Every structure is written in structure tokens, then in C-alpha cells.
């Protein structure tokens, strides 16, 4: 059942820890990060989980960390040489988050304006809401939006200059079109949200209260630990929390890219 709420009023300025796993796929990370930096309201911190990347991801993240630290944005990088250490690395990464909210964000996502305000606002609207997710072009119902009025490709090669605006050199994604679509989507469904039984892990806000309550059991979940959104959704509900979909928020998701090089289950 869908409802409406003024999320701008409900939102609060609590610290958000944005946790981004990177299993290679640097070309997607180079799309994701600029969108996060452009569209995230402060205060936020970035926590990266680098799983054995050999494509320049480690060097890119190190440069990003140096640049953003100078701008007052905390960046932490947790690295494991292979996916065999993924469970422990997940635990270390989540242990480095200090936010009132933790957002799990796949590196094959491109976020849109006001995404954090929307997610945080809905999570604060009702005390019982513990997990919140957006709508997307690549998600299971009820988070799926189709068709979308823009083009995208799974082919790599899109260039990016430093940490600025991406170029569309090889037609990987028309970001301007994504943002226009997201704005139109928001206008059409402004204030709409609904409860859900399960949320996708591609972009998922988790209240700190949820982690505090179910955290001790995380090691028992799976190799992907916190990133197994099926189990996370179930554990949160068992702990008495509700799941909600922010129906007027659209986030682009390439899909099946983040953990494509890992031998473990993907979160899509």
C-alpha cells in the first residue's frame, strides 16, 4: 500500500556512512563516485570495500581519499586481496562506519539529486522503519521502474576527468538524461512511499539501530555478510523493523556488475 509524506520536512542532518564495495569494475566506480559527490548532502563519509581489485581501483581510491580528506570528507578504504577474506573485510568495513545511517551502495549505481535526503527522510518518518530503498531501472518489484526514457550500455570505456562530471564518450550512460528522468519521476510521484517485504541491496539505507540489534549475528549470514540483502531484509523484520520503498526516488543501476568478479553471490 502506497502512502505520501513530505520527506524534506522529515529529514534530519545525521551523519550518513556510504559503504561502497568495489570488486574491480573501475569504469563503474568512476561513474558512481562523481554522482555521489555531486548529489550527497553533508555530513557524509565514504567507506570503500576493495575486494582484490587489479584494474587501478586501489590507486584511484587512494587518490580520492587524499583529495577528499583535504576537503574535510572522511574516506576509509578496507581492502582484502581475494574474495576469500570478504566476510572479515565486511566486518572491518562496517566497524569503520560512524553514521547514524549506513547506505550500502553498489559501485555500478549512479545516484540522483537529493537521494540522501529522500532516503533519510523516509527512514525518519516512522520510528519502526529500519531499511529504505529507492526505485530503479534494474531491480526486483516493487522497486522496478520500466521503461526508462534514457539509454545505457554495459560496455566499459566511458571517460571521466578527475572527480568531475563524467563524459559520455562511448555511450555507456547519458547521465543528463538519467537526471532528467529522475526529476520527472520525482515530480510525478512526489511524496509517495510504500512498505515492502524485501529490498534490493544495490542502494539500501540501514538505520544504525538495525545494525546495533542484529549486528552480532552478521558473521553467521553468508560470505557477503551485510551485502546479502535477502537475509538483511529478513533479519531486520525479525528484529521488529519495517522496510520501505521511496517511490519518488530513482537511482540508476547497471546491474550484476559490482560482484561480477567475485565467486560469491551477487546482491542484485
State how far the alpha carbon of 248 is from the alpha carbons of 38, 143, 233, in Å.
19, 11, 21
- Residue 265's pLDDT is 36
For residues 103 and 204, is the Cβ–Cβ distance under 8 A?
A: yes
Tens digit of each residue's pLDDT (9 = 90 or more) over 30-82: 999 999 999 999 999 999 999 888 889 999 999 999 999 999 999 999 998 87
Lowest mean pLDDT among 85-89, 167-171, 211-215: 167-171
Mean pLDDT, residues 6-34: 81
DSSP H or E run through 185: helix 175-189
pLDDT at 7: 55
Are 165 and 30 a contacting pair, CB within 8 Å?
Answer: no
Residue closest to 153 by CA, chosen among 136, 135, 134, 169: 169
> Which pLDDT value is given to residue 23?
86
pTM: 0.86
Is the separation of the CB atoms in 131 and 244 below 8 Å?
A: yes
Q: How far separated are the first and last CA of the chain, in Å rounded?
A: 24
Q: Which residues contact 85 (CB under 8 A, 6 or more apart)?
A: none
For the cut 90, the answer to whether the pLDDT of residue 20 exceeds it is yes
Asked whether 254 and 225 are in contact (CB, 8 A), the reply is no
Retrieve residue 201's grid coordinates: 541491496
Identify the sign of the CA torsion 91, 96, 101, 136.
Answer: negative
pLDDT score, position 268? 40
**pLDDT at 218 (0 to 100):** 59
Comparing 220 with 66, the larger pLDDT belongs to: 66
* Distant-in-sequence, close-in-space partners of 72: CB < 8 Å, separation ≥ 6: none
pLDDT (tens digit, 9 = 90+) per residue, 144-203? 999 999 987 654 433 333 344 444 444 579 999 999 999 999 999 999 999 999 999 999
What confidence score (pLDDT) does residue 164 get? Answer: 41
Amino acid at each position: 500500500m502506497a502512502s505520501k509524506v513530505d520527506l524534506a520536512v522529515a529529514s534530519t542532518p545525521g551523519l550518513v556512512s556510504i559503504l561502497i564495495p568495489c570488486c574491480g569494475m573501475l569504469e563503474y566506480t568512476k561513474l558512481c563516485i562523481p554522482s555521489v559527490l555531486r548529489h550527497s548532502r553533508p555530513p557524509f563519509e565514504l567507506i570503500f570495500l576493495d575486494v582484490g581489485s587489479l584494474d587501478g581501483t586501489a590507486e584511484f581510491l587512494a587518490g580520492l581519499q587524499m583529495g577528499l580528506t583535504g576537503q574535510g570528507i572522511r574516506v576509509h578504504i578496507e581492502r582484502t586481496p581475494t574474495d576469500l577474506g570478504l566476510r572479515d573485510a565486511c566486518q572491518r568495513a562496517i566497524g569503520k562506519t560512524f553514521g547514524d545511517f549506513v547506505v550500502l551502495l553498489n559501485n555500478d549505481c549512479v545516484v540522483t539529486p537529493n537521494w540522501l535526503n529522500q532516503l533519510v527522510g523516509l527512514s525518519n518518518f516512522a520510528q519502526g522503519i529500519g531499511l529504505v530503498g529507492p526505485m530503479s531501472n534494474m531491480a526486483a518489484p516493487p522497486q522496478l521502474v520500466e521503461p526508462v526514457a534514457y539509454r545505457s550500455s554495459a560496455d566499459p570505456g566511458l571517460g571521466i576527468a578527475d572527480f568531475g562530471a563524467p563524459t559520455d564518450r562511448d555511450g555507456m550512460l547519458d547521465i543528463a538524461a538519467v537526471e532528467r528522468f529522475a526529476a520527472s519521476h520525482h515530480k510525478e510521484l512526489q511524496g509517495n512511499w510504500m512498505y515492502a517485504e524485501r529490498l534490493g541491496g544495490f542502494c539500501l539505507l540501514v538505520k544504525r539501530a538495525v545494525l546495533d540489534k542484529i549486528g552480532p549475528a552478521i558473521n553467521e549470514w553468508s560470505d557477503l555478510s551485510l551485502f546479502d540483502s535477502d537475509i538483511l531484509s529478513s533479519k531486520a523484520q525479525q528484529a521488529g523493523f519495517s522496510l520501505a520503498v521511496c517511490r519518488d526516488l530513482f537511482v540508476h543501476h547497471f546491474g550484476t556488475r559490482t560482484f561480477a568478479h567475485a565467486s560469491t553471490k551477487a546482491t542484485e
